[in-house]
Structure 1
Amino acid sequence: MDTSAGRRRPSIRRSLLAAAQGLALALLSIGVSLALFILSVVSIALIVTGVGVFTTPVVLSWVRMHANQRRLLASQWSGVAIPPPYRPLPRDMRPGVTGVVERLIFLLKDPATWRDILWLLVDAVAGFVTALFPPAMIAYGVEGLLMMLGLWRVMGDGYWYGFIRVEGFVSGVQCALLGAALLATAMWVNPYLVKAHFLIARSLIAPTRGAQLARRVERLYETRHDAVDSSAAELRRIERDLHDGAQARLVAMGMSLGTIEALIEKDPAKAKELLAQARSSSAEALTELRDLVRGIHPPVLAERGLGDAAKALALRMQIPVEVDVELPGRFEEPVESAAYFAISEVLTNAAKHSGASMVWLDIHHSRSAGDMLRIAVTDNGRGGASLDKGTGMRGIERRLGSLDGVLAVSSPPDGPTMVTMEIPCEIVVAGPTGS
C-alpha cells in the first residue's frame, strides 16, 4: 500500500508538529548559528595575535557539530539528506603546538569550513525567517479566532489585524475568517516551510559538485587496488567455505555410497543405515550451498530489488530502523549487490557498536547532478565511528570504490553518526521498487 499520498494530506497534527519544529529551528538559527558566526569571525581575526591559533580549531569543531546536528534534524524531520563535505583529518598530525597549527591550517584550507561559516550567517537570517513562519502562522491564525471571541475589546480601536482595522464585533468576525484562512493555509504549507529551511541549509553545507567529483576521483584512485584485493579475498573465502563445508560433505557422501554398494547384498540393514546418513549429509550440503549462495547474492535482492531487500534487512535489525526508499527502477546487479552489502554492514555496525535507539535509512536516486544512487544511514548513538576503526568500513569503501562510489562518515563524539554512500549508476529497469 502506498502511504505517500496519505502523508501529503493536510492534518492539524502535522501542522502543529511543523510549527514546533520551526520554533526550535528558529531558536537554533538566531541563537546558536549567530553566536557561532560571531565567534568564528572573531577567532579567525585573532589568529594574527596568536590567540586565534588555539581558539579557531575549537570554534570550528563547534561549528561542524552544529552543522552535523542540522544534518541529523534534516534527515529525521523532513527526509532531506545532507551529506557531510569535510575532508578527513590527516592521520600523521604531530602532537603539541605544532599539531595545533597543522590542524588550523588544514581546517582553513578546507572549502567546507568557509561554506559552514557562510551558512551560519544565512541560517541566522534566511533560515530564521523560514523557520519562524510555521509557528507564526499558527499563532497569528489563533489570534484572529480570538478576536471574534472578545479579544477585539482588549485591543481597542486603532489595532490592525493584517489588513483589517479592529473596531468591533463585525471586524472581529472578519479577523476570525482571516485567521481561519491562515490556519488552513498552515495545515498545507507548514511542513514544506520546514523542508525549505533544510533545503537552504543543504544548498550551503552539502558537498559541491566539484568537491564530489574531486573526492570521487581521489577515492577511486585509492580503492582500485583495494578492490582487486577484496575480490581475491572474497574468492578465497568462497573456496574455503566450499572446501571445508559442502565439498567435505559431498566427499564423505561419495565414500558412504561406495560402502553401501559393497554392503547392499551382504548386510542390507547396515547399507540402509549408511544410506540414511548419506541422505542426511546431502541435505546438510544443500543447506550450506544455499547459505553460501545467499551470502553472495540474496534471493530477495535478485527478485524484488534493492528497496525491498533493504526493508527486509531493516526488519531483521535489533533496533528500530525507519526506512525511506524512493527508487524509480532497478539498477545493474553489481550496483544493487554492492549497495545491499554496504547497507547491511552499516546497519550491523550501528546495532552492535553505536548504542543508538533509532536508525534512519534513506535511499533515493537523483538525476539532478547526473544519475546517482544516494544512501544515508543516520543513528542517534554515541558517535565516534571512523573509517580507521575496524575493517568493516574499509571493506565498504573498497566495495563501493570498485564502482566509482564514495563513502563518507560524520560521527562526532556524542553523535549523531551519519554514513553517506553514493554510487553513480543508471536505471536499467523502470518502475518504482521498494518505495
Structure 2
Amino acid sequence: MNGELTRRSWVMERARAPWRGFLLSLLATPAILLGVLFSSSLSLVGAGIGVLILPAVVAMVRGLTDVYRARITEWTGHRIERPYLPDRPAESTGKAPARQLARFQRITADPATWRDYAWLVAEPLVVPFTAGLPAMLIVYGFWGWNLTAWAGGVFGELGWVDYYTFIRVDEHYTDGPYRMVGTAVVGTMFIVAGLLLGPKMLDVYGRWGTRLLGPTEKSRLALRVRHLTESRSDAVDASAAELRRIERDLHDGAQARLVAMGMSLGAIEHLLDKDPEKARILLAETRASSAKALAELRDLVRGIHPPVLADRGIGDAVRAIALDHPLPVEVTVDLPARPEPPVESAVYFAVCEMLTNTAKHSGAERVWVELAYRNGAIRVSVTDDGRGGASLEGGTGLRGIERRIGTFDGVLALSSPPGGPTIATLEVPCALPAPPVL
C-alpha cells in the first residue's frame, strides 16, 4: 500500500510541476507591465511627480511579488519571508506632504524595493528557462504529435514550417512514413523530458526566488526586532491578563471562603458556652468550607502550572488532559527529552486550548494528538473528524494560541475544509537537552 502511494505521489508530482511552471510563466506578463510602470515612475522623481506616484506603484509591485512568494513557497517548498522594512513613525503623523515624503524615503531606502525591481526585469528572462521550461517541452512534444497526425505537409506547403527539430516536414506524410515515426518519437521524448524535469526546474526556480525575493540581513534584522517587539507586547498583555484572572479567582473563590470561615469561627467562639450543639454544626460546615477552599487553591495552582507537567513532562501532561476530555483522544508522543519549562508550559496550554475548542465547536467524535520533535522544533498536531470550517479569524482562542507561542517564535497553521477534518498544527523552535548517558 505504501509503495502504491509513493508511486502515485511520484507521478502526481511530475504531472503537476509543468502546469505550475506554466502558471508562473503567466505572471511574467504583469511583471513586465509593472516593470515598465516602475521605470516610468522613477523617471518622474526629478519632476516631483514620482514622489507621489512611486509609493503606489511599489505597493502594486509588492502585491505581485507577494503572489510570487506564496506560489513559490507552496509549489517549490522554498519558504520566502516578506522582506520589507516596517513603517516609520513619521508616516502616521504630521501633515500629508510630510507623510508622503517619509513614505517615499522609506520605500527608496528599503533594499527589498530594488530587489523587487530587479526581479521584475529579470523574471521574464529567467522563468522560460526554469519553471516554464518543462511546459514548453511538453507543448513542443505535442506539436510533434500534431505534425505526425495530420498537418506536417500542409504547414510545409504553406511555408510555415520546414523542420521539426532535425526532421524535415515539408511534404505530406503519405510520402514519408519514416518522418511520421520520427516526429512521433521525438515528440514523445520531449513530453517525457518535460515531465521528468518539472520538479527539478521548479526547485531551481524556487532557489532563484529565495535569493532575490527573500529578506536581506538588514531587513531580516529589522523584521526580527519588530517581531520581538510585538511578541513582547503580547507576552506582557497575556501575563497581565493571567494575573487578573488569578486575582479574580482568589477574590471570588478561596478568599471569600476564608473570610466566611473566619466569621464562622467567630460565631463558634460565642456559641461554645451557650449552644455547644450549634457550635458543633458550624464547625462541621467550617471544615467543609476549608476543604472546598483547599480544592479551589489546588485548581488555581494547577491552572498556573499543573503538577503533572512539572513532575512528568509534556507527554504525560497531555495524556492527563486526554483522560478528562469529553471526546476520545488518542495521544502519540515522540520526544527524546523534555524541553525547557517555559516552552513546555506554552505548548501544554496551547494543546489545552486546542482541545477545548475541539470539544466546544467541532462536533467531532474522535481526536488525535501527536507530539514530536522534528528539525529543531516541537511539532504538535491536533486532528479531529468534526464538521470543519474553522478559521484563525473565527474567534480569539486560536489567536491567543498564536500569541502564546509567538513569544517563542512559534507558528500555528490550520487546515479545516468544510466537512472536515480539522488539523491544527503548531511548531515551537527549541533545543532539547541531550539524553542522559546510561
TM over 0.5: yes
In 2, Cα distance between the equivalents of 1:7 and 1:245? 62
- Whether contact under 8 Å (2:18, 2:195) holds in the other structure is no
Residue ranges of structure 2 left out of the alignment (5+ in a row): 266-276, 319-334, 355-371, 380-391, 412-425
1:109 paired to 2:116: no
In 1, Cα distance between the equivalents of 2:18 and 2:134? 5
**Change over 3 Å in CA distance of 1:121–1:343 after alignment to 2:** farther
1:193 paired to 2:185: no
**Change over 3 Å in CA distance of 1:224–1:125 after alignment to 2:** closer
Residue ranges of structure 1 left out of the alignment (5+ in a row): 259-264, 307-326, 347-362, 375-382, 408-420, 431-435
User: Cα offset for 1:122?
Assistant: 1.8
**Change over 3 Å in CA distance of 1:196–1:224 after alignment to 2:** closer
Aligned to 1:177: 185
Give 1:55-204 correspondences, 5 Å limit.
55-93=53-91, 94-156=94-156, 159-166=162-169, 168-204=176-212
Aligned to 2:315: 303
In 2, Cα distance between the equivalents of 1:8 and 1:329? 36
Aligned to 1:24: 23
- Whether contact under 8 Å (1:144, 1:172) holds in the other structure is no
Deviations 1:393-432 (Å, cap 9, x if unpaired)? 899679756x5x599xxxxxxxxxxxxx9987546579xx
**Change over 3 Å in CA distance of 1:214–1:133 after alignment to 2:** same
- Whether contact under 8 Å (2:22, 2:135) holds in the other structure is yes
In 2, Cα distance between the equivalents of 1:142 and 1:253? 88
Correspondent of 2:44 among 43, 46, 51: 46
Residue identity in the other structure for 1:36: L
In 2, Cα distance between the equivalents of 1:138 and 1:278? 80
Of structures 1 and 2, the larger Rg is shown by 2
In 1, Cα distance between the equivalents of 2:292 and 2:110? 62
- Whether contact under 8 Å (2:148, 2:183) holds in the other structure is yes
Aligned to 1:349: none
- Whether contact under 8 Å (1:14, 1:187) holds in the other structure is no
Residue identity in the other structure for 1:77: W
Identity of aligned residues (%): 26
- Whether contact under 8 Å (1:328, 1:365) holds in the other structure is no
- Whether contact under 8 Å (2:353, 2:401) holds in the other structure is no
- Whether contact under 8 Å (2:134, 2:193) holds in the other structure is no
Residue identity in the other structure for 2:71: L
User: Cα offset for 1:7?
Assistant: 8.1
How many residues in Structure 1 have an aligned counterpart in Structure 2? 354
In 1, Cα distance between the equivalents of 2:115 and 2:5? 36
In 2, Cα distance between the equivalents of 1:147 and 1:284? 83
In 1, Cα distance between the equivalents of 2:51 and 2:37? 13
In 2, Cα distance between the equivalents of 1:364 and 1:25? 35
User: Cα offset for 1:103?
Assistant: 1.0
In 2, Cα distance between the equivalents of 1:330 and 1:289? 21
Partner secondary structure for residue 10 of structure 2: coil
Residue identity in the other structure for 1:152: G
In 2, Cα distance between the equivalents of 1:247 and 1:4? 61
Deviations 1:229-274 (Å, cap 9, x if unpaired)? 458536625633652687479969999xx9xxxxxx99xxxx9999
- Whether contact under 8 Å (1:365, 1:372) holds in the other structure is yes
Q: TM-score, normalised by structure 2?
A: 0.59
User: Cα offset for 1:213?
Assistant: 3.5
Deviations 1:351-397 (Å, cap 9, x if unpaired)? xxxxxxxxxxxx9987xxxx7999xxxxxxxx9x9xxxx9x989967
Residue identity in the other structure for 2:104: L
Partner secondary structure for residue 89 of structure 1: coil
In 1, Cα distance between the equivalents of 2:3 and 2:247? 46
Aligned to 2:250: 243
- Whether contact under 8 Å (1:127, 1:197) holds in the other structure is yes
Task: Single out whichever of 64-73 and 52-61 deviates more from structure 2.
Answer: 64-73
**Change over 3 Å in CA distance of 1:136–1:224 after alignment to 2:** closer
Partner secondary structure for residue 49 of structure 1: coil
Residue identity in the other structure for 1:23: F
- Whether contact under 8 Å (1:249, 1:282) holds in the other structure is no
Give 1:237-316 correspondences, 5 Å limit.
237=244, 239-240=246-247, 243=250, 247=254, 302-303=314-315
Partner secondary structure for residue 83 of structure 1: coil
In 1, Cα distance between the equivalents of 2:194 and 2:352? 40
In 2, Cα distance between the equivalents of 1:7 and 1:343? 35
**Change over 3 Å in CA distance of 1:282–1:66 after alignment to 2:** same
Give 1:396-411 correspondences, 5 Å limit.
400=406, 405=409
- Whether contact under 8 Å (1:246, 1:288) holds in the other structure is no
- Whether contact under 8 Å (1:116, 1:204) holds in the other structure is yes
**Change over 3 Å in CA distance of 1:205–1:372 after alignment to 2:** farther
- CA RMSD in angstroms comes to 5.8
In 2, Cα distance between the equivalents of 1:46 and 1:343? 55
